[in-house]
Structure 1
Amino acid sequence: MATVDLSNLGVGSGLPLATLYNNLETAENTKLTAITNQKTTYTAQLSAYGKLQSALTNLQTATTALGKASTWNATSVTSSNTAFSATTSTDATIGSYTVNVDQIAKAQVLMSGNIDSSTKQLGGTTTDGTRTLTITQPGTKEPLKITLSDSQTSLTSIASEINKAGGNVSATVMKADDGEYRLFLTSKSTGTDGNMTVTVDGDDTLQQLIGHDSTSSAMSVQTSSQNARVSINGIMIERSSNNIDDALTGVTLTLKAKSSADESLDVTRSTDATTKAVNDWVTAYNALQSTIASVTKYVSVDAGADSQSTSNGALMGDGTVRSVQAQLRSQLTQVQSGSYAIMAQFGITQDPKVGSDGSTGNLKVDTDKLSAALTKNPEAVQAYFIGDGKTTGLATTMGTSLTNMLNTSAGSEGVIQSAQDGINATIKTLDKRYTATEASIEATMARYKAQFTALDSLVTKMNSTSTYLTSQFSKSSS
């Protein structure tokens, strides 16, 4: 509100008009305080619904994970292997395989002859002062082409330019002794597809120092390339890489060394991923109960108190919250049609005790019982949560409920969005009321000021007249 100058009000009349004005203004402003308090309450409710929405979203994420077949089809390698390691995906077939690594894949390494300096320019005379170094590999679509100037033909410069080009070849210069330097070229890919052909166009001198092909070579083969060869159940396969992901479906082999004997690769169903998914879901469900307890908390006050405790939850007694909680809890008690009809059969029960945060209906997990169920009959636990994937199965039905609750699409808003929309609409209405009330108060106080100013002027004149008459009477009597 605008600040009003009251410094001269009441000075002439002697009346406490400034104090009276301030008291009236304070009384009028209580109308704004009431609106502000209402807005604070609704803003707190909006924040509480945000917390509830976040907890529901976390539960939805955990529930969705339980409803995915990939969660239940996780596999792992239980064998310990020496010549290779293996990882699996959800589409791997459970079974045991005999594996024997015949040879691992190697990358080709070329080595130049002895050069007496690493910085001496080795190139010959060219027409335009440049030459083109080309490295070709069968497994690389485009050859690596590098233009070298006259000042870039030393071993150090050649290696630097090759490495800066970012191709499938790395280069290094090694010093053996003073006056003995060699250039090494190493294919970044293993197998014969990484074999290198090196040519220098436009500079025969440099070609004779670092050129290499299958018929003639200035560079020698320091390490010969070779493909990986591995026998799986007696069938020999050959690949250019030591990482083989297309031999067994869902299994990636990483070859490390030649086998000294046959090794067994054992692929089994993994309970770790499933156990984590179940525990994550229980944690998310309990976190939701904790959030509900927080936003609906009631703190008793002394008998006869006129107001509620300020520690009460912003959504205390809110029907929407209670409806959400009741709907989800009711699904926990629905009997499923599979071998496991209720969660308690595989180790998940509701805790009858009230949590330290006031939450109720929390779930607890019997780790041993759950582990035994996932080991002996994982399909039954999966059926309990997934059901037919449409209308049955706890994760399926709860997932549908959570999706509906959290829906934000126009015309199909869920209960959370609807509640938030209602609160936002109320807050907008309160903002309008605040603005209108503030304008009304300003008009009222302006009217009071005008009236007080007129009263001050009138009383001032009356006081002046009284003083004058008193003076005259005093003179006449004397």
Structure 2
Amino acid sequence: MRSGQTGYANRLEFTDSAGGLLALLEVTNNALASGTSGGQITRVGTGETDSDLNAQFILDGLTMYRSSNQVSDALDGLTITLKQTGDLVDFSVKPDTDGIKSQINDFIKKYNDILTFIQGKTQVDGDLDIRADFAGDTLLTGLRFGMRSDLARQVTGQPVGAPTLLTEIGIEVNDDGTLSLEDEDKLTEALEENASAVRDLFTGADGFATRLKTRLDAYLGSDGLIDNRVDSIEDRITRLEDQITDFDERMALRENQLREQYAKLQEAIALFQSQQQYLGGFFG
């Protein structure tokens, strides 16, 4: 019989009130710190800090105890695996600059994709006689200018000396509004100096990515600007269809009226022709 989980908090407890159960099982209750081999019981102790059921280690001079050899709450964002006892181990934690660069490049690509898509749908070129489907549409042109404005303004809330503009980490804005990483060394230097500040430049409360998300949510979210525009267009289509139906009905009614008038006119003409023939014969 064993516990499904390790550690003092997950220990199994048995009470031998008669005093003969352990002897019957041929198990001694003498503490054995190294394990249960030989029919002896690991020293349970009286709590988390003196039990051999727990892992014990020293980190930055602080003695810590955990119920598992997988320690994920000692250092933020880092999991430590305890293998065995031994001498002191030195290790350092550095930001994953390559991973952050990859995310920044991905941000640049996706931003450029969105901006290029909008520009293509709103393009007007008189020389080439090009007028895109949404040329002059204030909703999309407003989104394009808003996105460019979001990336042009300084980010607030950054520490003193930390970057507040894209140009300070090597990213330039091209003439068409798209982004490009022109100075990777400047980005690397900024990451090595303060990776958290570079991260917050994008994902902080006033970061570039945060601004763009807020703006896009206003457009793409439920009951957002695009949904409202779609509803407005659908309402307009419905009204136009109703107007077309009413017009068709009026035209059908008018057609019937004209046909009736035409038929009566034909009857009158036939009557006049008959009378003309009669009078011609009378005076002839």
TM-score where L is the length of structure 1: 0.40
1:244-259 aligned at under 5 Å gives the runs: 244-248=71-75, 251-255=78-82, 257-259=83-85
Structure 2 SS opposite 1:361: coil
Pairs aligned (count): 244
Q: State the alpha-carbon separation in 1 of the partners of residues 69 and 200 from structure 2.
A: 39
Which structure has the highest helix share of the two? 2
1:309-324 aligned at under 5 Å gives the runs: 312-324=131-143
Deviations 1:221-241 (A, max 9, x none): 9998974534224736352x3
Change (3 A) 1:441 1:217: farther
Tell me the amino acid that sits aligned with residue 348 of structure 1.
I
Give how far 1:299 is off.
6.0
Q: State the alpha-carbon separation in 2 of the partners of residues 249 and 194 from structure 1.
A: 28
Query: Does the alignment pair 1:364 with 2:187?
Result: no
Tell me the amino acid that sits aligned with residue 369 of structure 1.
K
Structure 1 SS opposite 2:109: helix
Indicate if the aligned counterparts of 2:70 and 2:79 stay in contact, CA closer than 8 A.
Answer: yes
Aligned-residue sequence identity (percent) comes to 23
1:58-73 aligned at under 5 Å gives the runs: none
Query: Does the alignment pair 1:289 with 2:105?
Result: no
Query: Does the alignment pair 1:375 with 2:154?
Result: no
Q: State the alpha-carbon separation in 2 of the partners of residues 458 and 236 from structure 1.
A: 115
Q: State the alpha-carbon separation in 1 of the partners of residues 55 and 196 from structure 2.
A: 37
Deviations 1:141-166 (A, max 9, x none): xxxxxxxxxxxxxxxxxxxxxxxxxx
Structure 2 SS opposite 1:269: coil
Give how far 1:430 is off.
1.1
Tell me the amino acid that sits aligned with residue 178 of structure 2.
N
**Aligned residues: CA RMSD:** 4.6
Give how far 1:263 is off.
3.1
Tell me the amino acid that sits aligned with residue 79 of structure 2.
T
Give how far 1:251 is off.
4.0
Structure 2 SS opposite 1:267: coil
Structure 1 SS opposite 2:168: helix
Give how far 1:395 is off.
4.8
Unaligned residue ranges in structure 1 (runs of 5+):
1-107, 109-136, 140-187, 198-212, 303-307, 353-359, 474-478
Tell me the amino acid that sits aligned with residue 423 of structure 1.
I
Unaligned residue ranges in structure 2 (runs of 5+):
15-20, 27-35, 43-52
Give how far 1:400 is off.
5.1
1:376-455 aligned at under 5 Å gives the runs: 376-382=193-199, 384-385=201-202, 389=205, 394-395=208-209, 398=212, 401-402=215-216, 404=218, 414=225, 416=226, 419-451=229-261
- Identify the residue that residue 237 of structure 1 maps to in structure 2: 65
Tell me the amino acid that sits aligned with residue 186 of structure 2.
K
Tell me the amino acid that sits aligned with residue 116 of structure 2.
S
Change (3 A) 1:453 1:371: farther
- Match of residue 92, structure 2, among 261, 266, 281: 266
Give how far 1:445 is off.
3.2
Structure 1 SS opposite 2:93: strand
Q: State the alpha-carbon separation in 2 of the partners of residues 457 and 371 from structure 1.
A: 96
Q: Which has the higher contact order (CA 8 A, sep 6+)?
A: 1
Give how far 1:277 is off.
4.2
Which structure has the highest strand share of the two? 1
Tell me the amino acid that sits aligned with residue 180 of structure 2.
K
Query: Does the alignment pair 1:344 with 2:163?
Result: no
Q: State the alpha-carbon separation in 2 of the partners of residues 223 and 439 from structure 1.
A: 101
